[in-house]
Amino acid sequence: MSMLKKFYPKEYVNSTYEIDFDELYKKGYRGVIFDIDNTLVPHGAPADEQAIAFFKRLHAMGYGTLMLSNNKEPRVKMFCDAVSAPYIFKAGKPGVDGYRKAMEIIGTNVDNTLFVGDQIFTDVWGANKAGIYSFLVKPIHPKEEIQIVLKRYLEKIVLFCYKRDREKQMRKSK
């Protein structure tokens, strides 16, 4: 077993907006915790029409949503006010406290909560440690802060191993 498995997302997809939330709702999921930057909009960008429509749809379906961000409050509040969702700023990801508090706020638990984010070592690892089903999405925009750029090199190693392990599993299941 790979030492890197704790960093593996349950699913790796191109975009938040292509996840089948209808199907996940049918499976019993009721809450979605999101990272914001490069998960829903480019880093530092305000909520756009796509994000606003997306959250309206999730809320209409019956999902509780919450933004869990390591960013400062003004940035997080600006986005969350636009999409009508609660938030936790300076969340301390990958620590599990923010994830647990998020579930408490939206009234869900580890069995019916999803997490969607773009970074392995904060978003996915934290969700995994908290016992939440995790989606890793490809970053929306390539321009990032230097500390994130450095982490992306390490993420490539984890993703290489993740994809290799998935291919092995697929071959075994045939």
* Helices and strands of the chain, counted as H and E runs: 6, 6
Q: Per DSSP, which regions of the chain are E strands?
A: 11-13, 31-34, 64-68, 87-88, 113-117, 133-137
CA distances from residue 44 to 3, 15, 57, 96 in whole angstroms, order as listed: 33, 17, 23, 24
pTM over 0.85: yes
pLDDT tens for the chain, 174 residues: list them: 467 889 999 999 999 999 999 999 999 999 999 999 999 999 889 999 999 999 999 999 999 999 999 999 999 999 999 999 999 999 999 999 999 999 999 999 999 999 999 999 999 999 999 999 999 999 987 766 666 677 778 888 888 889 999 899 889 888
**pLDDT tens digit sequence for 146-167:** 666 777 788 888 888 899 998 9
Cα separation, 103 vs 108, whole angstroms:
5
